[in-house]
């Protein structure tokens, strides 16, 4: 039940992006790093549970950006796909187009090549970070980013005909979770409001304070406490909280249909334990917010990528001093002729 928030409203950062990766805590994951050759221009974490070793969020030295959220399916069985969703992100990040190649042309090719066949429900934000008009200097708007979903009414054709183009002008704030872009869950509405309030109060704050304010948004926990037997209310609760405290999922059976029951033993540093929560004893079924990522892009094309890991691959809480990975890079070609998109 991941969430993505972005804004172009900050006076010093043309783009700020926030992401929570909610996942099974035992799922093997590689921390954010530059990939091995021939893809050493890509920086991201990687999912090691599937042979494709794809990613949910990544950036390249030339400014190619892609972020994935799963689309909420009716059951766990429906959510499992023949192909890794992360491979779609990898496809965009590893594209060999030069800087004159467009996001729009990649989307058309995505369909033509059949790369969406057999892929489960997903939403994807992708594009190339670049000023829309280099001659406008540091005040230039960014090239638009695309938001696509293969669970539109048109099916996979929604990738091509149903794309939303965002972040191309100042003052935008958007959010995306596990539903359609234009039908947001309550957690997205909460996140957009918190992000807008944070940016409004951020004038003059040093970058480290801004980052912690943004991480506070990603740690905003309004998960309702549910007790007793597993039921629809527990699944519904996931739609209402930006941060997902650890809970134990139930084995899917005809009776449970993949519903979940919240639990905690080692609670997150985002909040103390709350009365009524259960202790956990099955770490292989623990699910919750696993990683938090913030990307800051300044007017000169310098990008800061901060990945915060909350749990290790054994579902143990990561010590505060060890949880952050920070990467800073200057986007190559920032002042070159911009990429045409649509």
Domain range list for the chain: 3-330
Give the CA count within 13 Å in the CB-facing half-sphere of 204: 1
pLDDT at 77 over 70: no
Characterize the bridge pairing of strands 15-24 and 286-297. Answer: antiparallel
In this predicted structure, which of 73-82, 181-190, 254-263 has the lowest mean pLDDT? 254-263
pLDDT at residue 158 tops 70? no
Per residue in 286-305, pLDDT (tens digit) is: 889 999 999 999 999 999 99
Model confidence at 226: pLDDT above 90: no
Task: Please compute the mean of the pLDDT values over residues 95-124 and round it to a whole number.
Answer: 78
Q: Determine the pLDDT at residue 81.
A: 65
pTM of the model: 0.87
pLDDT at 121: 87
Q: What pLDDT shows up at residue 95?
A: 83
What pLDDT is attached to residue 138? 55
List phi, psi (to 5°) of 92: -70, -45
Q: Is 182 exposed, middle or buried (0-12, 13-18, 19+ CB in 10 A)?
A: exposed
Tokens for 150, please give them: 């293969």
pLDDT at 231: 47
**pLDDT averaged over every residue in the chain:** 83
Mean pLDDT for 9-28 is: 95
Which distant-in-sequence residues (6+ apart) come within 8 Å of 36 by Cβ? none
Q: Which two tokens stand for residue 39?
A: 């893809």
pLDDT exceeds cutoff 60 at 50: yes
pLDDT above 70: residue 32? yes
Q: pLDDT at position 160, please? A: 62
Residue 156 in contact with residue 163, Cβ under 8 Å?
Answer: no
Percentage with pLDDT > 90 across the chain: 57
CA atoms within 13 A of residue 199's CA, in its CB half-sphere: 25
The C-alpha atoms of residue 314 and residue 242 are separated, in whole angstroms, by 23
The residue with greater pLDDT, 112 or 44, is 44
Question: 3-330: what fold?
Answer: Penicillin V Acylase; Chain A (3.60.60)
Give pLDDT, residue 229: 43
pLDDT confidence band for 339 (50 / 70 / 90): very low
């Amino acid at each position: 039940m991941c969430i993505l928030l972005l804004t172009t409203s900050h006076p010093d950062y043309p783009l700020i992006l926030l992401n929570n990766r909610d996942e099974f805590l035992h799922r093997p994951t590689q921390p954010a790093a530059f990939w091995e050759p021939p893809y050493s221009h890509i920086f991201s974490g990687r999912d090691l549970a599937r042979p494709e070793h794809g990613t949910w969020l990544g950036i390249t030295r030339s400014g190619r950006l892609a972020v994935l959220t799963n689309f909420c399916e009716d059951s766990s069985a429906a959510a499992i796909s023949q192909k890794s969703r992360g491979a779609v992100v990898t496809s965009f990040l590893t594209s060999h187009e030069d800087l004159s190649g467009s996001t729009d042309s990649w989307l058309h090719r995505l369909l033509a090549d059949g790369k969406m066949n057999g892929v489960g429900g997903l939403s994807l934000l992708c594009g190339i970070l670049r000023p829309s008009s280099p001659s406008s200097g540091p005040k230039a708007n960014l090239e638009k980013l695309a938001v696509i979903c293969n669970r539109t009414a048109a099916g996979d054709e929604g990738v091509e005909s149903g794309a939303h183009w965002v972040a191309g002008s100042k003052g935008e704030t958007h959010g995306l979770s596990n539903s359609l872009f234009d039908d947001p869950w309550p957690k997205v509405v909460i996140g957009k409001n918190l992000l807008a309030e944070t940016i409004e109060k951020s004038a003059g704050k040093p970058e480290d304070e801004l980052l912690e304010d943004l991480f506070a948004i990603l740690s905003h926990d309004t998960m309702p406490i549910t007790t007793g037997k597993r039921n629809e209310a527990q699944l519904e609760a996931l739609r209402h909280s930006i941060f997902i405290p650890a809970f134990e999922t139930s084995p899917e059976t005809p009776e449970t249909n993949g519903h979940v029951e919240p639990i905690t033993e080692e609670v997150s540093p985002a909040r103390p334990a709350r009365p009524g929560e259960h202790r956990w004893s099955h770490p292989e079924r623990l699910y919750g917010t696993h990683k938090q990522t913030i990307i800051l892009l300044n007017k000169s094309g310098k990008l800061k990528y901060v990945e915060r890991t909350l749990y290790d691959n054994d579902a143990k809480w990561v010590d505060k001093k060890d949880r952050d990975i920070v990467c800073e890079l200057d986007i190559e070609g920032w002042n070159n002729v911009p990429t045409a998109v649509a």
